[in-house]
Copies of this chain bind each other. A is one copy, B any other.
Amino acid sequence: MRILITGVDGYLGWPLAIHLAARGHEVAGIDNYARRGWVGEMGSQSAIPIAPMAARLHAYREHLGQNLRFYKGDLADYNFVLNAYRSFRPEAIVYLGEMPSAPYSMLDVHTALYTQQNNVLGTLVTLHAMRDAVPDAHLVKLGTMGEYGTPGVDIPEGWFELDYRGRKERMLFPRRAGSWYHQSKVHDSHNVEMACRLWGLRSTDIMQGVVYGTAIDEIEGRPELATRFDFDQAFGTAINRFCAQAVIGLPLTPYGKGQQRRGFLALRDSIQCLTLATESPPESSDYRVFNQFEEVYSVMELAERVQRIGNESGLDVKIHPVENPRTEAEVHYYNPDHQQLLDLGYEPTHDMDAELRKVFRDLLPHRDRIEERKESQFPDIRWDGSRRPSELLGR
């Protein structure tokens, strides 16, 4: 298949391109290096060094024996996107090109506006360019489990049958997001669903859990193919940030009670699932939603697991919960479905310990890069718009 990945320079986009090429697909990518810029704005950098795009493309060709067709530009620019589609004629578009951080979106009015503008308009341009150039292509759109929030009821995969006052209708399940970033994904979901309904496009919307890890088979042992690894307060997600903290001897800092429950999955599982979704397109007009994660854990369970694996590696890992900078429920019901990817053949890794050992293996040589930017991992972006470092809490 001809598959175009937006955000191909990112944490998921780069390994996905490699994995799809290794499976024999022809891959193109779009990026404007915005992720490198956002992390720089947070005073941080990728813990694992990543090459500039020209060097990445060279390494890709060396290892995979084909070119990655790379288009540099802004996804909110209709003419640029239309040109890329007309030139590459993708059969699938994996849309990862969004600003992915809740804290960054809550920083101030400017980052809030930027987040919704970048994400919502980029997707809207994509829908129009698909309609105009590749109406039969499959849009694999990256959403987030955070679209649902944490309601006190089970969470189906996107749709449900509403039984209301004696009548029934298949409806989108109500969303209740908790940041401007998460809301931007809710808006995307509504826009994409409408484009499928009115224009006959086809899409899989991926409600993804929190991804952790450094490894997919095609990357291991090839540092020139490595993907980025962030640990700052905005772009470093829970498990990854814990691992980076452990590596430089900082305590792991779950927020508040640490009883927040979320779906998590390893990087290799994310890549596996995105591949499964891409290789099994839905029918025209179908807006399909997958909840994509391996298992639900509490943040504290994960901190304890990172502690155990870190201690095995000879580190002395402490856990010090800090004041929660977010406004969120810390103790809540959480029971989301996740069946459809299993039905497509998803084989979950299950061995989180092995994945964490690989993270430590890959991070330890870059201890200095984390140490040099360690201030960036202390949370101080508050959901109320203020900027105030979180205090340590008693455990």
Contacts and interface: CB of A to CB of B under 8 A. Distances in A.
B198 A383 contact: yes
Chain A interface bracket (under 10, 10 to 19, 20 to 34, 35 or more): 35 or more
Interface in A149-205: 151-154, 160, 162-165, 167-169, 171-178, 180, 183, 186-187, 190-191, 193-194, 198-199
Most chain B CB within 10 A, of A109, A116, A121, A169, is at A109
Given A187-B187, A190-B177, A194-B178, A125 B154 contact: no
A325 B152 CA distance: 42
A128 B154 CA distance: 32
B154 A178 contact: no
A121 B177 CA distance: 17
Given A174-B173, A194-B177, A199-B384, A128 B153 contact: no
A125 B113 contact: yes
A191 B117 CA distance: 13
A157 to B, nearest CB: 13
B183 A190 contact: yes
A229 B199 CA distance: 32
A113 B109 contact: no
A231 to B, nearest CB: 26
Nearest to A175: B190
24 contacts: A78-B110, A112-B124, A113-B124, A113-B125, A116-B124, A120-B120, A132-B385, A151-B162, A151-B169, A152-B169, A153-B165, A153-B169, A154-B164, A154-B167, A163-B163, A171-B174, A172-B176, A178-B194, A180-B191, A180-B194, A183-B187, A183-B191, A187-B190, A198-B327
